[in-house]
Amino acid sequence: MNRQVEIQHLGFRDYRETWDYQEQLFQGILDIKMKNRRNNTSLETPNYLLFVEHPHVYTLGKSGDMSNMLLSEKQLEAKGAVFYKINRGGDITYHGPGQIVGYPILDLDNFFTDIHKYLRFLEEVIIRTLADYGIKSMRSEGETGVWIDVGTPFARKICAMGVRASRWVTMHGFALNVNADLGYFDNIIPCGIRGKAVTSLNTELGKEQVDETEVRQKIQQHFLEIFEAEAVVASAAK
């Protein structure tokens, strides 16, 4: 089992371009697995963790409800945002500047074959990262992602998650609001959940800006610890 994870920092990149790149890596792992099965070989499959920041974009998962998008095409354009229907689980969400997005493209055969455990591990990565900043966050039963003040009238979501998996290979991932413009969430019913607010790390800390490079480093550290993995840093963004 290969528990090395190649870390790639893609910088500020278009959502569609990044989605296509994810698909390329995802398919590459599937091809190796199919070849192994066909030829009875045991070639190692790679694992990746992509960090990226996107321009303003709304995405709707395959089980999502279109009515949770509150803007018309013209209104989207006026806000400098785009919209995509995509093949992950979950409902509608927003990505944009000030948000750290992580896409783990893992062969879970290298780790464990349990999607629910995988999602709980991703949540734990974010929970531990926020704890480093003195913020107590948690899971909310039946609602994937990471929340603050669950079970109170002030419950608010700080990290959204949605994944796709095929033959135990994953793609898509998590989006942690760090310095995000929360006004963009007013244009959707986030994740299809009514009556619950969205928050950002800088808002919780009462700061204008939080160092995103530092947050990414903490996420990476906790990811490697929780998945018992070893980092292989890519020489340059792809």
Catalytic annotation, residues: 191
Percent of the chain with pLDDT over 90: 74
pTM of the model: 0.92
**Which are the contacts of 223, defined by CB distance < 8 A and separation ≥ 6?**
5, 49, 102, 104, 125, 229
The pLDDT value recorded for residue 87 is 79
pLDDT of residue 6: 98
Per residue in 58-73, pLDDT (tens digit) is: 988 877 778 888 888 8
d(CA 228, CA 125): 12
pLDDT tens digits, residue range 2-48?
Answer: 999 999 999 999 999 999 999 999 999 999 999 999 999 999 999 99
Least Cα distance to 110 among 42, 175, 174 occurs for: 42
Residue 130 Rama label (left phi>0; alpha psi -120 to 50; beta): alpha
CATH of domain 4-233: 3.30.930.10
